[in-house]
Structure 1
């Protein structure tokens, strides 16, 4: 019985038996009187718990959602386009696949945002015709020769024009409609994947909210479970869990952790969870106040907040605290050029435009900074403040490069040598890129007598998972050890568990998979089966990492079969131990998913013996007894030791184990196969129709011509023979 049928059954039962006495008038009361334990809970769960399912977005809501996402995307680009990876890519040629740096929070699919597509023909280059325009003929022969040359070139140009017109007509009539249909087809899948992803994440958020409640309910708190749920989630998903938890249990996650986490050794863990669970804008405002309230000023925290945040983040924090109130606090706790820089940064007027910096202007400003004190001697704080408070990230990088070129010293080292104290901290915070600043701050928190757990908490607790990965990479580049090693050696307890979970745990599939397996009988855990959409490559990779192999493929059709809009699902099976040997023990070999229907497809083979990765074309299907092999050829696609090669592989086995990747999605491969079958059926039908027309024409010809005496005699003899029989 489906969930909808169970719910309808409850309504129908209560209506039909409403006149009965006692428990018989209500299905739930009747079930509760007859059943108990987990069986009763499962009955109620079938009726009440809503699983993930797709929902259409109302047309009126789409523009608002699109504007919200566009604004978020714009802010991310402005904030993160200076990522070192983006800078390196920007210096290279504009060819090959496009990549988005620092955009991981926006898209559900990682990796390339576009695919490299080889040009179908070389770029057209106009031939050199300058000689036709040089000088002026003085003799008849020269004029005639020039005329012939012009006529030849005219014919060449006419040939190019006619060829272009033919290509245009062919493209307009065949290529454009075909690609348009394919784009619509892919757009449908992307839309469905986004809906499915959103609904699944909503389902996961609801379940995570219940997991948190289970961890804190009753006597004591299950800190391990709390860490596994909250620290494994990305920020956006965690905010949704917070909303659901507050709706369901009338407390925010921040309130829960504040009340449940305590004790002498849990202060750092509690502070870290505060940074994780508080929205970035609210956390910045809270930390700004924390840095200046009480005995003394936390200048390191103050520099970090005012010198590294974007204009939007600073404006949001000022809106919470009040601009004048914040200004008064800064002026009351600081002085000199240090104060001037903080106030200037607080105005949130930094140039955040995209694009390459003006090299000439950067060179001039590098000289001005050197003369204003970076090179030693008298200082002019106002010049330094005017430049660094407004220069874009790209301009600062250009200034640093020019400074080192002109004076032979990195600008950061010049600041350390010529400045000091809080003034030095603020200047370095403004000059470092964000990843470098956070990496150096973390190293400062680890070094020396004791560990600055609060600095570690706010940097890693406030950052998103992709940002943490970039900070960790930069930390390893600078200090020669991994951030994981530093955390394991410098912190302990639940704080250490939470940090490592934030760094290395992924959301929330592994936890859900483990929870699902807990509910399955132990003897059935080996053979967990599920289906994954072929287009969802990220999900396929993740399930492979959890021990799943592909056990088959199935296809379905959108609309009618004649439309050939094919969707392909990969059946995946979880086998413990060595999948091939285990399957063999059960009498199962590799599934026969592919035969001759994938000929001429390009695939990428990662040979399991470690001999390399190669792109090849499937050129033949060979069936020898029980063996089914595919012949492949690398001509025009890849080389092995400088030469092309051919091979025969068990494509089904390689694909099942993840050693083969089709360069086109299987949905498109199967769609083309269906179109070829459709074309073959049409040709067969046309041939049959032609044969029937020929038979009809022959019959008509026989009926229309007069019978001869010989034909009449044959017909008479035939009738007599039938009568005798």
Structure 2
């Protein structure tokens, strides 16, 4: 069945390894998938579709629970819930809801596939996902990508990008990053800091391959110390050095990596803020971050957003979106801070 293949083995909820989780969407207490399936069936049959009920249920259940609802729905109606939702909903609400019917890894894999399929490449999406996910998450994304699309992620990324930008993304997709260790190697920290400086600001031109190997292979705690040490060799911090040495997609990728190494929730908070600057909102960015992070670290992102921008994420979303799209995003965001 389509539903079974859609969900097969894709719980993947703790794929980030030992990283602490700060989700806004947590398992619902007294969960009854059969009762939820009945409510969704009734909501879909209602004239005009009772979208609020669908939003209330699906934004307050984890992926594992949504999967159980989908199986209960299929057992009850002999219909695939995903197909029924596609037929009942439209626009931005449909995009969010269908995203929620995927595991985090499935969603990321689908977003990557969408960014490189067809004419042109959506570099922004590619950079955001590949440069912000942990090694464990990337390993799972690669596995799911192969399962869903019968293609290797490495080959698709290599075929759709070029130059040093392609080399950096490929290095990340190869998932060679070292695991965090309890041992602090001060000599290696010093060596890497010196190498980053000598490969960039100290010489004419940039030895990008050295930057790529260090930033794609070292553990994150190690790199955090390297960037601190780097300041003793360079008059600029790592971000400033990147902006002076490289441009375009390569600059954006390196900056994304460094920002995520230093404070990943703040990186996403700033992405959300930029997506809601001025009139309207960049819906694609808003949708992607809220759907992909709601079971990971959206609570931390909310905290960083309020701290950095002086207004809650909840209030900002309410100001820049409207209708059912606003309701579903606020459902994922959780309460106001």
TM-score by length of 1: 0.41
Pairing 1:430–2:257 present:
yes
Distance 1:72 1:293, change over 3 A: closer
Aligned to 1:212: 40
CA distance in 2, matches of 1:376, 1:480: 41
User: Does structure 2 retain, via aligned residues, the 8 Å contact 1:344–1:389?
Assistant: yes
Equivalent residue for 1:313, pick from 118, 131, 137: 137
Equivalent residue for 1:363, pick from 186, 190, 200: 190
Aligned to 2:161: 334
Map 1:289-688 to 2 at 5 A.
289-322=113-146, 325-355=152-182, 357-373=184-200, 377-407=204-234, 409-433=236-260, 434-447=264-277, 450-465=280-295, 467-504=297-334
Residues 339-381 of structure 1, C-alpha deviations (whole Å, 9 max, x = no match)? 1010111112212335354333223212211222256741111
Aligned to 1:44: none
Return 5+ residue gaps in structure 1 as ranges: 1-68, 81-100, 109-196, 507-725
Residues 181-239 of structure 1, C-alpha deviations (whole Å, 9 max, x = no match)? xxxxxxxxxxxxxxxx98x33xx333222221121114321111111111122333333
Aligned to 2:110: 286
Residues 54-82 of structure 1, C-alpha deviations (whole Å, 9 max, x = no match)? xxxxxxxxxxxxxxx9x976x5443x1xx
Map 1:35-74 to 2 at 5 A.
none
Aligned to 1:268: 92
Report how far residue 318 of structure 1 moved.
2.8
- Alignment: residue pair count: 320
Structure with more strand by fraction: 1
Report how far residue 104 of structure 1 moved.
6.8
CA distance in 1, matches of 2:79, 2:294: 24
Pairing 1:102–2:35 present:
no
Distance 1:245 1:362, change over 3 A: farther
CA distance in 2, matches of 1:316, 1:249: 32
Counterpart of 1:432 in 2: which secondary structure? helix
TM-score by length of 2: 0.84
Aligned to 1:720: none
Residues 407-463 of structure 1, C-alpha deviations (whole Å, 9 max, x = no match)? 354322332333221001211222223312212221232235652201111110122
Equivalent residue for 2:83, pick from 251, 255, 258: 255
CA distance in 2, matches of 1:405, 1:425: 24
Q: What stretches of structure 1 move > 4 A for 4+ residues in a row?
A: none
Structure with more helix by fraction: 2
Pairing 1:240–2:159 present:
no
- CA RMSD after TM alignment: 3.0
Report how far residue 325 of structure 1 moved.
4.2
Return 5+ residue gaps in structure 2 as ranges: 1-10
CA distance in 1, matches of 2:248, 2:218: 23
Map 1:175-186 to 2 at 5 A.
none
Report how far residue 254 of structure 1 moved.
2.8
CA distance in 2, matches of 1:259, 1:215: 13
CA distance in 2, matches of 1:72, 1:374: 41
CA distance in 2, matches of 1:281, 1:446: 26
- Larger Rg, first or second structure (1 or 2): 1
Aligned to 1:229: 57
Distance 1:363 1:250, change over 3 A: farther
Report how far residue 494 of structure 1 moved.
0.8
Report how far residue 383 of structure 1 moved.
0.3
CA distance in 2, matches of 1:205, 1:441: 35
Counterpart of 1:407 in 2: which secondary structure? coil
CA distance in 2, matches of 1:328, 1:215: 43
User: Does structure 1 retain, via aligned residues, the 8 Å contact 2:23–2:298?
Assistant: no
Counterpart of 2:21 in 1: which secondary structure? coil
Moved more, 362-371 or 238-247: 238-247
User: Does structure 2 retain, via aligned residues, the 8 Å contact 1:235–1:464?
Assistant: no
CA distance in 1, matches of 2:240, 2:136: 30
CA distance in 2, matches of 1:331, 1:466: 28
Distance 1:214 1:497, change over 3 A: same
User: Does structure 2 retain, via aligned residues, the 8 Å contact 1:254–1:278?
Assistant: no
